[in-house]
Structure 1
Amino acid sequence: MSEKAFKQIGLWIDHNKAHIIGYDEGHVKLIETVESPVEALKREAGEGNDSTRFTSNNNHTSNNEYKKHNVSQNELKEYFKILENKLHPYEDILLFGPGTAKEQIRNRLREIKSFDKKWLSIQKSDRLTENQLLAFVRDFYKDEFPSISPGF
C-alpha cells in the first residue's frame, strides 16, 4: 500500500523525532520517521557556564540564554515546517505523544489556511514501541470511525 493511499494518519511527536503512521480500513503502516534538527545542549569550544566566554569572573554576564533560546526556536520552526510539508496531503490527522510538541504543532497547523478543512485530533501517549504506535493509531481510528453496519 503506497503512502498516497492513506487518508488518515497518526503523528507521534516529541521534540526529538516524529513517526508518521498511515491508516486505511484497518491497515496501519509506519510511513516515515523524521528526526528533529533541535539540539538539546550546545557548547562552543572554551565555553564553560553561561557567563562570558574565556573568563570565570562572575561580574561579567552574557546574553547567552537569549541567543540559545533564539537558536532553539528557529530549529523548532524548521522541524515543524518539515512536518507540515509531510502532513499536507492527508485529511485526518491524529497528533499524539508525550510533552507539549503535539499542541505546538497543532497550533501552528491551525494558523495555516491550507489546513483549515483538515480534521486534527490530539491524544496523550507515552513513548511507544513501533508495534504500540501502530496499535494506537489502529485503535483510535477503529473506535473513532466504526464501520457502519447495515440496518437491524
Structure 2
Amino acid sequence: MKNNHASQVGLWMDHSKAQVVEFKNGEAVLVENIDSPVETIKRIEGEVKDTTRFTSSNEHSSNNEHKKHNIAQKELNEYFRILENKLASYDDILIFGPGVVKEQFRNRLRENKSFSDKWLSVQTSDKLTVNQLLAFVRDFYKESNP
C-alpha cells in the first residue's frame, strides 16, 4: 500500500499568518492557510497613554507594559502550538518568511522532544504570492533532493 502522505513540508510564516505547503511527488501543493491569534495593536477599553503617574523612575515607564507583554507572549505561544500540531506528522520541515518569528519558532521546535528527530531548515523570504510560494518550496526540495 502506497503512502499518500507527504513527509516534506514548507511553512511560510510571519506574525499574522502561516501557509502550509506540502511537497510530494515533485509537486508543491498549498494545504492550509492559518491565521495567527497574535494581535499587533493592543487596545484596552478606556486605556490612556502608557505612563505612570507618581514616579519619576524610568524603570517603570508603563502601567500596562507587563500586562501587554504577557498577553503577546501567550498569543505567540498559542500560534506556535497550533503550528506544531500541523507539522507533527512531517519529517522534513522548511520554515521561511520575513522577520524573526521563523527563528523563534525553529528554536521552540528544537526544544520540543517530538521534533528532535526531524530535519529543520530556516530560510528568509519576502511576502510571496501563492505561485511564488509553491515555486519556493518546490525549488528548495528539488535542490536538496537531486
TM-score scaled by length of structure 1: 0.86
Q: Map 1:1-150 onto structure 2 (within 5 A).
A: 5-51=5-51, 58-59=53-54, 62-146=62-146
Deviates more, 1:76-85 or 1:60-69: 60-69
% identity of equivalent residues: 60
Q: For residues 71 and 45 of structure 2, what CA distance do their matches in structure 1 show?
A: 17
Deviation at 1:51, TM superposition (A): 2.9
Deviation at 1:62, TM superposition (A): 4.3
Give 1:116's aligned amino acid: S
Structure 1 runs (4+) deviating above 6 angstroms are none
Give 1:118's aligned amino acid: K
Give 1:142's aligned amino acid: K
Number of residues of Structure 1 aligned to a counterpart in Structure 2 = 138
Deviation at 1:108, TM superposition (A): 0.3
1:23-59 deviations in whole A, cap 9, x for unaligned?
012111100011110101111222121136xxxxx54
Deviates more, 1:36-45 or 1:119-128: 36-45
Deviation at 1:138, TM superposition (A): 0.2
Segments of structure 1 that go 5 or more residues without pairing to the other structure are: 53-57, 147-152
Q: For residues 40 and 81 of structure 1, what CA distance do their matches in structure 2 show?
A: 18
Give 1:6's aligned amino acid: A
SS in 1 for 2:104: helix
TM-score scaled by length of structure 2: 0.89
Bigger-Rg structure (1/2): 1
Give 2:125's aligned amino acid: S
Deviation at 1:90, TM superposition (A): 0.3
Q: CA RMSD in A?
A: 1.4
Segments of structure 2 that go 5 or more residues without pairing to the other structure are: 56-60
Give 1:50's aligned amino acid: D
